[in-house]
């Protein structure tokens, strides 16, 4: 194996033989669209410990690995796919030509590049992350497969654009990409997408929730998702469906004779997308809409006279809805997760159930201890005696619940003149039994303070002699004073 990279001529011949034996269809079918999550660290250590130049055949804990054939990785024309059982996934991408590029976008905070190293591989590859340029090398004294050759950690959480560029200093190879276990590589429009990505669900074109106008024809093909698609060459034909969720993708083949202008209208807002390409590519991700309000959305796809329109599948993060279907409840949340009350005082909890138009939205309220705090069926909480109780809001006939903790404190009548109730920006309500002096000091502070300025409240909590609680000015959402 140590001679694998030493004969450039043999390498090029092998590359030509491999690629000439693979048709377009079989290459597409063989592409990986999944990833491998890390479950251990190198040498079974507690923390990630792999250093640049060490072999890393599996991603470490907190990382996941995408093979070099992942569809969202875009290679320029000079790269070749090379099959070898020593590489991760049984293949890598390589080129001996300089100024070739590999581009992709990922969501996350960290990145690793995996490649073999050897004495005739590139001594200078360039990686650009969000316009910041660095160099790395895959040259080593001897052959070692699946080696960590580059690492970047501590990036800001979000999307990052990456370009890897080759040089003429030796053969350039990329075997795999490691990123955060909670991150993902963003699939760009125009990429083949044979299966829905994590967080998406795919619905075939023949799903009964999708309505076609009369000009569409069912076309059978083993290259399609579900082995069929719908197509028409007529202008003004429509597809209608509705879905529940926040995002949508359209899957279709692309080719030279397909439509250059298809209109999609989501909740009355219209955009265009294009199906034309220089050659055929099946199951292509051709349109995406993100960031919709979580709920029901109505979609209409309309054809034009600019070519054949083909429709293969839909990806959403929720579900397709039948024409008259109303979605069921998916979540319940409370506006506060903790309340502090003085004996005899009240506060209100508000429950939010999604989706807003769901069936069976009735919320049932209960208290874990009615002797400490009670709650009525409108979410009104009454504090009765010192202690702690859990208020539960449950969507009737489901397992969906949300809870809030109520802490009830005794009233100190000897020195108190008012109850100061402060609601913080995180939804927590704090109540203080204060004298007029403390109340006036607080009001004066609140009027003049800014930013992270704090106000101190002294409290007595057994077994401590004294407890001081600090309230930060910019964390206060509102407050009220109840005099007695």
pLDDT at residue 460 is higher than 80: no
- Asked if residue 354 is part of any domain, the answer here is yes
Answer whether residue 281 is part of any domain: yes
**Overall average pLDDT of the 409-418 stretch:** 67
- Is residue 461 one of the residues assigned to a domain? yes
Judge whether residue 296 has pLDDT over 90.
no
Does residue 22 or residue 466 have the better pLDDT?
A: 466
In CATH, what number is assigned to the domain containing residue 309? 2.60.120.260
Mind giving me the DSSP string for 211-279?
Answer: EE-TT-EEEE-TTSGGGEEEEE--TT-EEEEEEEES-EEEEEEEBTTB-S-EEEEETTEEEEE--B-SS
Q: Is residue 131 one of the residues assigned to a domain? A: yes
Residue-level pLDDT at 360: 66
State the CB neighbour count (10 A cutoff) for residue 12. 12
The dihedral through the CA atoms of 88, 91, 94, 100 has a sign that is: negative
Inside any domain, residue 239: yes
**Do 32 and 76 lie in a common domain?**
yes
- The CATH number that applies at residue 475 is 2.60.40.1080
Domain that holds residue 245: 201-321
- Is residue 47 domain-shared with residue 144, that is, in the same domain? yes
pLDDT at 435: 85
Of residues 420 and 71, which shows the higher confidence score?
420
Quick one: 349 and 479 in the same domain? Answer: yes
Q: What is the pLDDT, as a whole number, of residue 466?
A: 79
Token pair of 286 as six digits: 């051709």
Per-residue confidence (pLDDT) for residue 413, from 0 to 100? 52
Residue 377 has pLDDT above 90, yes or no: yes
The whole-number pLDDT of residue 32 equals 37
Instruction: Identify whether residues 236 and 347 lie together within a single domain.
Output: no
Please name the residue that has the structure tokens 């964390």: 475
Residue 2 is assigned to a structural domain of this protein: no
Domains: count for the chain: 3
Residues 310, 342, single domain; the answer is no
Q: Which of 151-155, 268-272, 319-323 is least confident?
A: 319-323
Q: Please indicate, yes or no, if residue 1 is contained in any of the structural domains.
A: no
Residue 147 forms part of a structural domain:
yes
Question: Is the same domain home to 298 and 350?
Answer: no
Which of 288, 321, 354 finishes a domain? Answer: 321
Last residue of a domain, one of 267, 300, 321: 321
Percent of the chain with pLDDT over 90: 67
263 pLDDT more than 60 = yes
Give residue 13's pLDDT: 36
User: Which of 301, 321, 341 delimits the end of a domain?
Assistant: 321
Q: Are residues 344 and 467 in the same domain?
A: yes
Is the domain of 217 the same as that of 134? no
Q: In this predicted model, what pLDDT tens digit does every residue of 26-55 receive, in sequence order?
A: 233 333 346 899 999 999 898 999 999 999
Categorize the per-residue pLDDT at 237 as very low, low, confident or very high, splitting at 50, 70 and 90. Answer: very high
Would you state the pLDDT for residue 329?
Answer: 61
Residues 53 and 175 grouped into a single domain: yes
Question: Do 59 and 153 belong together in one domain?
Answer: yes
Stretch 339-356: mean pLDDT:
86
Q: Residue 309 pLDDT more than 50?
A: yes
* pLDDT reported for residue 358: 66
Same domain, 77 and 134: yes
DSSP H/E element including 442: helix 436-448
| pLDDT recorded at residue 362 | 86
What is the per-residue pLDDT across 163-210, written as a single tens digit (0 to 9) for each? 999 999 999 999 999 999 988 898 889 988 998 987 899 999 999 999
Sign of CA dihedral 181, 184, 185, 191: positive
If asked whether residues 272 and 343 sit together in one domain, one would say no
């Amino acid at each position: 194996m140590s001679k694998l990279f030493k004969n450039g001529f043999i390498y090029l011949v092998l590359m030509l033989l491999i690629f000439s034996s693979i048709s377009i269809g079989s290459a597409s079918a063989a592409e990986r669209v999944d990833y491998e999550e890390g479950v251990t660290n190198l040498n079974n250590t507690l923390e990630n410990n792999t250093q640049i130049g060490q072999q890393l055949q599996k991603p470490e804990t907190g990382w996941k690995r995408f093979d070099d054939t992942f569809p969202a990785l875009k290679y320029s024309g000079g790269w070749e796919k090379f099959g070898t059982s020593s590489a991760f996934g049984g293949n890598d991408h390589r080129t001996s030509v300089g100024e070739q590029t590999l581009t992709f976008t990922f969501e996350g905070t960290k990145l690793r590049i995996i490649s073999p190293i050897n004495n005739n591989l590139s001594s200078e590859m360039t990686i650009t992350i969000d316009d910041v340029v660095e160099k790395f090398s895959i040259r080593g004294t001897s052959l070692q497969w699946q080696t960590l050759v580059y690492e970047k950690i501590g990036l800001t959480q979000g999307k990052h654009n990456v370009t890897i560029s080759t040089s003429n200093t030796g053969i350039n190879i990329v075997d795999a990409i490691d990123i955060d276990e909670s991150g993902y590589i963003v699939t760009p429009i125009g990429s083949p997408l044979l299966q829905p990505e994590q967080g998406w669900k795919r619905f075939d074109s023949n799903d009964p929730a999708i309505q076609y106008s009369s000009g569409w024809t069912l076309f059978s093909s083993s290259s399609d998702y579900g082995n069929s698609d719908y197509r028409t060459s007529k202008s003004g034909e429509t597809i209608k469906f509705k879905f529940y969720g926040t995002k949508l993708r359209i899957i279709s083949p692309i080719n030279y004779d397909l439509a250059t202008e298809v209109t999609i209208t989501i909740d009355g807002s219209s955009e265009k997308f294009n199906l034309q390409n220089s050659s055929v590519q099946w199951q292509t991700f051709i349109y995406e809409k993100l960031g919709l309000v979580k709920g029901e959305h109505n979609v209409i796809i309309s054809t034009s006279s600019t070519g054949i329109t083909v429709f293969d599948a839909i990806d959403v993060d929720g579900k397709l809805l039948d024409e008259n279907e109303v979605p069921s409840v998916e979540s319940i949340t409370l506006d506060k997760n903790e309340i502090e009350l003085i004996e005899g005082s009240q506060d209100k909890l508000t429950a939010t159930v999604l989706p807003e138009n769901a069936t069976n939205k009735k919320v049932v309220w209960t208290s874990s201890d009615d002797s400490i705090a009670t709650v009525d069926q409108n979410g009104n909480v009454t504090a009765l005696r010192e202690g702690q109780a859990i208020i539960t809001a449950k969507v009737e006939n489901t397992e969906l619940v949300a809870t809030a903790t109520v802490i009830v404190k005794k009233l100190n009548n000897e020195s108190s003149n008012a109850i100061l109730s402060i609601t913080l920006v995180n939804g927590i309500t704090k109540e203080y039994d204060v004298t007029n002096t403390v109340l006036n000091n607080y009001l004066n502070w609140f009027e003049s303070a800014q930013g992270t300025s704090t106000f101190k409240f002294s409290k007595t909590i057994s077994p401590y002699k004294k407890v001081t609680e600090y309230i930060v000015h910019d964390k206060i959402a509102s407050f009220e004073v109840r005099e007695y």
